[in-house]
Structure formats: C-alpha cells, structure tokens
Amino acid sequence: MQESASAGVAGSAASQPYPKPMVAWYATIAMAFLYWLSILDRFIISLLVEPIKRDMNITDFQFSLLHGMAFAITYSLFGLAAGALADRYSRRWIIFGSVAIWSAATAACGAAVHYWQLLFARVGVGAGEAGLNPSATSILTDLFPKDRLTTAMAVFTIGATIGSGTAYFFGGMIVDLVAQTPSYMLPIIGEIRSWQAVFFVIGIPGMLLAFIVFSFPEPVRRNVRDGLNTDSPWRGVLNSYRKLLAFIGTQKRFFAHHYVGFALGSMVMSGSAIWYPAHMARTFGWSPGEIGLWLGSVVVVSAISGKMLCGFMVDRMYRRGYRDGQFRWFAGCMVVATPVGIAAMMATSPWIFLGLLGIFLALMAALPACYSASLNLATPNELRGTGIAFFAGTAGLIGMGSGPLLIAAVSDLVFGEGSIGAGMATVIAACCPLGALVLATGCKAMSSAVRDLEAKTQ
C-alpha cells in the first residue's frame, strides 16, 4: 500500500499534467457511487423508526442514539486515523476496506434482536464510513486544477444527495414490500422481522461493490511541501496530527471560522435528515412508500440543483480572483435558508412542506462541497486527508451526533413528545444565522490562507 504513496511523492511536482478529463471524471463518478452507497446504508434506518421503536420498545431519544451518536462517535474517531493514513498510504485500498466494513456492519444490523446489538452494529457502520471522505477528497484534489475543484467536489457529493434521496425512495418501497410479510426465515440466523430484512438487502451487495475503487488509477500527489512521512502506521498517524495542529496554529482564524461555521450547518442538515420521514408520518399520516416517493424525489432534484449551482458559482468566483468563495456562498445560503426552513417545518399541508423543503435543501446542499473545497484549498497535500478527517470528527460529533439528539430533546422537553417539526424549526432558527455570521466574518481569513499556500507551493 505504501508504494502508491511514495510514487505519488515522486511525481508531485506542480509541472506534472493533471489526468485526462475522462479519467478524472470517471474516478469522480465511481467515488460518488460509493458515497451514494454509504449514505444509503447510513440513512435507511430513518425509514424504520416506528417498527424499530415498536419491536425494541424504545423512545425517540433512544432511537436518535442509534442514528446519531452511536454512528458519529466511531465515525469521528476512526476518521481521525483514516485521514492520517490517507496522507501516506494508498487511498484506494483505504476506500476499499471502508466500503467492505460498513456494508458488513449494515447487514449485521439485520441480525440484531436487542437494542444493544443494533447499537453496536451502527457503531460498525460509522467506523467503516469514516475512511471514505478523507481518501476520496484527497484523490479529487490531485485529479483537478483548483478552478474546477469545487465543481468536482459538488459532483462527488451528489453521490450523498442521491444516496439520501434513494434511501427514502427505494427504501420506502422496500419497507412497504417486505412489510407485507411480518417475518422471514434465514439459514443459521433464523426468524427475522421485516425491518431487519431491509438491512440485509441493502448491506450485502456493498461488499462486492467495494471493488469498483480499483477500476481507476491512483493519481500522483500534488502541492506536497515536505514529502510524505514513512513512519510506522500509528507513529505516522500521531505525527500527522502533530503536523496538522502545528499548521492550524499558523492559520488559527481560518480554521476556527471553518470548523465552527460548517459544523453549525452540519448540525442542521444531519440533525434534521433523520426526522423528515417520522415528521411526515406523524403530521400527515403518510405510509413509508408515500414518504419515500415524494421525499426522495424532492431531496434528489433540489439538492442536485443546489450543488451544481454552488459548484458553478464558486468556481467562477475563483477564476475572478476570489479565494473565499466557499465561505461567501454558504453564508448567503444559510441566511436565506433560515426563514424557508422554519416555514417548512411548521407547515400543516404536506405539499407546502415538500415545496418549502425543496428550496431549503437546495440552499443547504452546498455544505459538503464548500467545506471540502475550502479546506483542501488552504491545506497542503500531505495534510489534506488528516484535515478532512479532523473536520469530520468535530462536525460529525456536533452534526451527526448532537443534531438528532438536540432535535429530539427540544421536541420532547419543550414542545411535548412527538413535536419533531417544532424541534427542527428551533434548531434551524438557532444554528443557521449563527453559522452564516461565523463564515461571513471569516472570509478575509480564508482568502489569506489560500493565497499563502499558493505562494508556498508554486
């Protein structure tokens, strides 16, 4: 695995041509497909709230631990190691291992018969998915010139959008289909409930699809300041974080605004995503199939539109000399998204809810591309995987971990159990304006950080 990294260093000169567009875009689409698979495995559980609560006799708060904190803690911790390893070893092998692990863990969710077993299986899903983003975004940065990077990141993160949309769309159909038979008999495992069968259907194919990552070559590494470290793996991980913390110390204002601003956006996006199906079922009385059809369609169309517009506009800003376009764009998106999101969550008509939600998601869909591109533009190559993992750790705990818990707590303690819409509206009202302010006041710091790195790596 290390020879790929070493070869990358040898060819990391700025004069090296970028891969042919066909190769670069194929690799992007292949990794976007794996991102789609990860989000599908991550979010399918949100369509199974009611049957899991019924069979395991748990509350909304306990369910939010399954979807949020159990996943987020291991996603954050394992991501820290995976990011550092991505800065020195073959990124394709790391992605392969990640896909295989989260797919096996998703299937294991189907074998769980007790709450603690399902909790541990979700821990495995988080551990596996932690390795994809640092390696994939590091590869993308070596595939595309800087004035096309945000568009490439947007295309890559479309995999997440399609994943969440199809988790609702196909997941709803699968849930309705398997629910026609209350239980199934499997060899060795024995009898399982219909919701457990969903996890097997989703998880098992992923273990074979992991091989897709070997269908494109590993690109050479670019903008490496000091060369890759060849320490032993764990010493290398610690050394990477020592270097990252030292680098953060040279750009404190940029990293502070980046981490806090985008983490607040992540709290809104990740915290709300789990509760959309439950909110629609409780407020409008829709079945999983109806929710999947309409919610999935809205998520895919609106979020893809938002991501592509973001990529086009921010890359255009870069070509015109702006080095803070990601901060500017997403700050504006959060300002506009605040009233739209609040109105959506308080709507009493399902069609008004879906219409406003589509606008809200189109605005907030810029989050992954903006945080990834801005971080990679300001961070040297040998620290990019570590930097993305470090952000995923902080944002993961705040967004995926705390977001669902906070919404459930506000709903249960302030508005009464089951008031998920009011809980989501409250979190949007608190987090979006604050996140916009943090990013807007950090534009100068981002521009300075990007220009400093450009000057040192030319």
Residue 344's CATH number: 1.20.1250.20
Q: Which two tokens stand for residue 212?
A: 């897709």
Kindly report the length of the chain.
458
Confidence band, pLDDT 50/70/90 cuts, at residue 385: confident
Q: Which two tokens stand for residue 316?
A: 């255009």
pLDDT of residue 8: 43
Residue 457, pLDDT > 50, answer yes
* Distance of alpha carbon 10 from alpha carbon 4, whole angstroms: 10
Domain-embedded: residue 224: no
Residue 160 CB neighbours (<10 A): 23
Residue 205, pLDDT > 60, answer yes
Query: Between residues 163 and 432, which one has the greater pLDDT?
Result: 432
Residue 335, pLDDT > 70, answer yes
Residue 160, pLDDT > 60, answer yes
Mean pLDDT of the chain: 84
pLDDT of residue 258: 94
Confidence band, pLDDT 50/70/90 cuts, at residue 6: very low
Number of domains in the chain: 1
3-state secondary structure of 210: helix
pLDDT of residue 184: 72
Domain-embedded: residue 211: yes
- Domain of residue 97, residue span: 2-7+16-215+241-457
Query: Between residues 224 and 138, which one has the greater pLDDT?
Result: 138
Residue 14, pLDDT > 60, answer no
Residue 182, pLDDT > 70, answer no
Q: Are 283 and 351 in contact (CB under 8 A)?
A: no
Residue 173, pLDDT > 80, answer no
Domain-embedded: residue 303: yes
Query: Between residues 2 and 360, which one has the greater pLDDT?
Result: 360
pLDDT of residue 202: 87
Residue 334, pLDDT > 80, answer yes
Residue among 198, 178, 185, 153 nearest 40 (CA): 198
Query: Between residues 33 and 47, which one has the greater pLDDT?
Result: 33
223-280: pLDDT as tens digits: 655 555 555 556 766 777 788 889 889 999 999 999 999 999 999 998 888 889 889 9
Residue among 97, 123, 96, 127 nearest 109 (CA): 123
402-412: pLDDT as tens digits: 888 888 888 87
* Distance of alpha carbon 436 from alpha carbon 4, whole angstroms: 40
Q: Between the ranges 97-111, 138-152, 296-310, where is the mean pLDDT highest?
A: 97-111
92-125: pLDDT as tens digits: 999 999 999 999 999 999 888 889 999 999 999 9
Query: Between residues 279 and 458, which one has the greater pLDDT?
Result: 279
Which of 52-56, 57-61, 252-256, 326-330 is predicted least confidently?
57-61
pLDDT of residue 396: 67
Range 337-345 average pLDDT: 97
* Distance of alpha carbon 437 from alpha carbon 269, whole angstroms: 17
Residue among 129, 142, 126 nearest 95 (CA): 129
Residue 221, pLDDT > 90, answer no
pLDDT of residue 230: 53
The DSSP-derived string for 104-129 is HHHHHHHH--SHHHHHHHHHHHHHHH
Ramachandran assignment for 80, one of left (phi > 0), alpha (psi -120 to 50 degrees), beta (any other): alpha
3-state secondary structure of 441: coil
